[in-house]
Amino acid sequence: MNDLKDSIDIIKTKIRDASIRSGRTEDDVLLIGVTKNVDLERIRQAYNYGIRDFGENYVQEARKKIEAFTEGATWHMIGHIQTNKIKYISRLFQWVHSVDRLEVLEILNRYGREMKVLFELNISGEQSKHGASQDDVKRILEKVRTFEFIEPLGLMTMAPYVENPEDVRWIFRRMREMLTELNKEFGLNMKELSMGMSSDFEVAIEEGSTMVRIGTAIFGERH
């Protein structure tokens, strides 16, 4: 019995079933394996079992792994961004999910490498969560077309942890509505919604998530 392969298979089945409930297919939802505090060997095993996208929270930890990882994975920066680490983000990652202020885009753009970006929103208003307000995101989107190397593709959020995922369904629904509203207001065609983690990804998919960030449900509890 291979626990890691079994965990990945279970997650993929749940993604497929939730996608069907939302009128889509499993190909419409990208599974991102969150590898914070996961060693390189386990990441390589997950890659061999079909995970092609990985998310990291901290640049310093990610840098060692990504530079040593020779397989053709796609890396997503999903953690809070410190401006002094952006030079590494530009070199290491293909996606940045956690843009929450204009300064981040300004610095990313200076490095002259095309970057796919999502804008992180704090829908719940929890002070412990990072993310911009709706008004803040609008101020960013007013300027986004001025950045030659930035490709705005969607929104990201992290819902509060709750025992019953139904309690945070409204957050995912509101995110979907906001994506539509922002596209209309700014003449954009953003399609990605990065929302849903190990405890709530099925509800997130039902409400329109296109990217789920799964760590614990794949790799187990980490410290």
Per-residue pLDDT reduced to its tens digit, 170-217: 999 999 999 999 999 999 999 999 999 999 999 999 999 999 999 999
In this structure, which CATH number among 3.20.20.10, 3.40.50.1820, 1.10.3720.10, 1.10.10.1150 belongs to the domain 3-219? 3.20.20.10
Give residue-wise pLDDT tens across range 89-123: 999 999 999 999 999 999 999 999 999 999 999 98
Say if residues 79 and 129 touch (Cβ distance below 8 Å): no
Closest by CA position to 79, among listed 60, 106, 52: 60
pLDDT at 124: 74
Model's pTM, two decimal places? 0.95
Give whole-number Cα distances, 57 to 25, 174, 181, in Å.
28, 24, 28
Residue ranges of domains in the chain? 3-219
The pLDDT score that the predictor gives to residue 71 is 83
100 vs 12, 24, 35, 158, 218, CA distance in Å?
30, 29, 22, 13, 27
Residues ≥6 apart with Cβ < 8 Å to 78: 32, 34, 55, 56, 57, 97, 98, 156, 194, 213
CB 156 within 8 A of CB 120: yes
Tens of pLDDT, residue by residue over 29-75, are 999 999 999 999 999 999 999 999 999 999 999 999 999 998 889 99
Residue 199 and residue 14: Cα distance in Å, rounded? 12
Give the pLDDT score at 128.
Answer: 61
Q: Label residue 1 by pLDDT band (50, 70, 90).
A: very low
Q: What is the pLDDT of residue 2?
A: 75
Confidence band (pLDDT; 50, 70, 90) for 221?
A: confident
Mean pLDDT value of segment 82-86: 94
Separation of alpha carbons 51 and 221, rounded Å:
18
Per-residue model confidence as pLDDT tens digits over 125-168: 666 667 899 999 999 999 999 999 999 999 999 999 899 999 99
Share of the chain residues as helix, strand and coil, in percent rounded to the nearest 5: 45, 20, 35
| Residue 141 near residue 186 (C-beta atoms within 8 A) | yes
